[in-house]
């Protein structure tokens, strides 16, 4: 296996020297509607389709059925990939209370996508389930969308730092390349708590410029990688995300 993990996102691997460094964690930051979910899921889908690297998607906020529907618009059939045991969705969105049947007790992770009860929403459990699910399908990639939803679990920055360090550590020792998504206010800052960028191996920032009707992507940090610090134009089309030269 090469020491890079190709994202498969057109234009991005070129500016990353072939992809993300292997078994490292990347923080993907941006304000609302900047394309974070699209980019991260494209990374998972491309991993499966182009590189035979299965993936796990943890949705902390958005309902998994809604994500499946949204991603079909880009031509990405998550359901099919799930049926082929190449993708597992772990839905911990708290919004489904009382609406759906839950898998209430999970001694071990099942081979297929599942939802967690609100009462089961604890940080170590999520990390353990991701790792167990990844083992089931031999996943190499994981996406967590998005970290601020974990705030209900950790009340201060020290514990958020500890939580992220532990999550990153577990993912790494299990050979997983991760994208952790975070939300930042327009313009300023890289992360919500100001600690996420330090515990990640790479930081990518996506932005929109409403006045110019343009989007950019910036590699703010990428350990063991030579890269430009300039923002680069990004486009979202029906095929997903494309980074312009």
Ligand X SMILES: Nc1ncnc2c1ncn2[C@@H]1O[C@H](COP(=O)(O)OP(=O)(O)OP(=O)(O)O)[C@@H](O)[C@H]1O
Q: Tell which residue, 167, 110, 170, 139, has the closest CA to residue 44.
A: 139
CB of 2 to ligand X, least distance (A): 27
223 with 201: CB under 8 angstroms? Answer: yes
Q: Residue 128 or 183: which CB sits closer to Mg ion? A: 183
37 contributes a contact to ligand X by CB under 6 A: yes
- Among ligand X, Mg ion, none, what does residue 118 contact (CB within 5–8 Å per kind)? none
Which residue's CB is nearer to ligand X, number 21 or number 36?
36
* Residue from 14, 49, 69, 73 in contact with ligand X (CB under 6 A): 73
Residues from 81 through 100 that contact Mg ion (CB under 5 A): none
Picked from Mg ion, ligand X, none, the partner binding residue 6 (CB below 5 to 8 A depending on kind) is: none
Buried b (16+ CB within 10 A) or exposed e, 20-58: bbbbbbbbbbbbeebbbbbbbbbbbbbbbeebebbbbbb
Pair 28, 179: CB distance under 8 Å:
yes
Could you tell me which residues are beta bridge partners of residue 242? 235
The interface region with Mg ion, picked from 33-41, 74-82, 102-110, 188-196 by CB under 5 A, is 33-41
Q: Which two tokens stand for residue 59?
A: 């949705």
Q: Which 16-35 residues touch ligand X, going by CB under 6 A?
A: 30, 32-35
Which residues contribute to the site for ligand X (CB under 6 A)? 30, 32-38, 73, 236-238
């Amino acid at each position: 296996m090469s020491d890079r993990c190709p994202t498969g996102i057109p234009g991005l691997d070129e500016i990353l020297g072939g992809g993300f460094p292997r078994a490292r964690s990347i923080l993907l930051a941006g304000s609302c509607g900047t394309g974070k979910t699209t980019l991260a899921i494209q990374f998972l889908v491309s991993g499966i389709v182009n590189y035979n690297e299965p993936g796990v998607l943890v949705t902390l906020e958005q309902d998994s059925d809604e994500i499946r529907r949204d991603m079909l618009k880009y031509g990405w059939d998550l359901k099919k990939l799930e049926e082929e045991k190449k993708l597992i969705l772990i839905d911990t969105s708290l919004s489904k209370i009382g609406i759906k049947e839950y898998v209430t007790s999970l001694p071990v992770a099942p081979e297929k996508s599942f939802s967690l009860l609100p009462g089961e929403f604890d940080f170590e459990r999520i990390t353990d389930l991701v790792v167990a699910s990844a083992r089931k399908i031999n996943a190499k990639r994981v996406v967590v969308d998005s970290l601020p939803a974990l705030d209900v679990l950790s009340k201060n920055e020290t514990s958020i730092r500890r939580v992220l360090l532990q999550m990153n550590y577990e993912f790494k020792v299990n050979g997983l390349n991760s994208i952790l998504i975070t939300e930042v206010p327009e313009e300023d800052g890289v992360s919500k708590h100001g600690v996420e960028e330090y515990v990640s191996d790479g930081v990518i920032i996506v932005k929109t410029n409403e006045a110019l009707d343009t989007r950019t992507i910036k590699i703010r940090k990428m350990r063991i990688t030579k890269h430009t610090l300039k923002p680069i134009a990004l486009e979202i089309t029906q095929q997903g995300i494309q980074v312009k030269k």
